[in-house]
């Protein structure tokens, strides 16, 4: 039993160390980086770049209008632009222990797991 408790505590510490540090200020600041829904390496239509205040999908640029950040969950409201069009998009995001992002709209009509690539 003692060994099981030590193993469980070690696993919890490893998970905490693997997860991105949360500043509680801004999801886009904490999640800054390059993600991909397929595989890391080449830029493709599953690429997501996050910068403070910005989500850049393959051919879509989105400015953060508002965000709620309570690690590991975030809700962002975006104003997006692509091919001469503009629209509002809300997303729910869950940060995984390995830094991956589960991204989906509030209605759950789709979901994408983006792995952190750097």
pLDDT digits (tens, 9 = 90+) for 15-29: 333 444 445 589 999
Q: Which domain holds residue 77?
A: 2-116
* C-alpha 62: how far from chain center: 14
Interior CA angle at 45 toward 95 and 59, to 5°?
100
Q: What is the pTM of this model?
A: 0.77
- The predicted-structure confidence for 59-75, as pLDDT tens digits, reads as follows 999 999 999 999 999 99
Tell me how many domains the chain contains.
Answer: 1
Tokens for 48, please give them: 């997501």
CA 28 – CA 86 distance, rounded (Å): 21
- For residues 77 and 38, give the distance between their C-alpha atoms in angstroms, rounded to a whole number: 24
């Amino acid at each position: 039993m003692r060994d099981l408790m030590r193993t469980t505590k070690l696993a919890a510490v490893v998970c905490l160390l693997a997860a991105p540090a949360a500043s509680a200020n801004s999801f886009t600041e904490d999640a800054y980086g390059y993600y991909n829904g397929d595989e890391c390496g080449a830029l493709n239509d599953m690429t997501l770049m996050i910068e403070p205040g910005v989500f850049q999908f393959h051919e879509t640029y989105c400015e953060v209008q508002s965000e709620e950040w309570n690690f590991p969950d975030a809700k962002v409201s975006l104003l997006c632009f692509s091919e001469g069009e503009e629209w509002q998009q809300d997303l729910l995001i869950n940060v995984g222990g390995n830094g991956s992002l589960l991204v989906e709209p509030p209605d759950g009509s789709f979901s994408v797991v983006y792995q952190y690539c750097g």
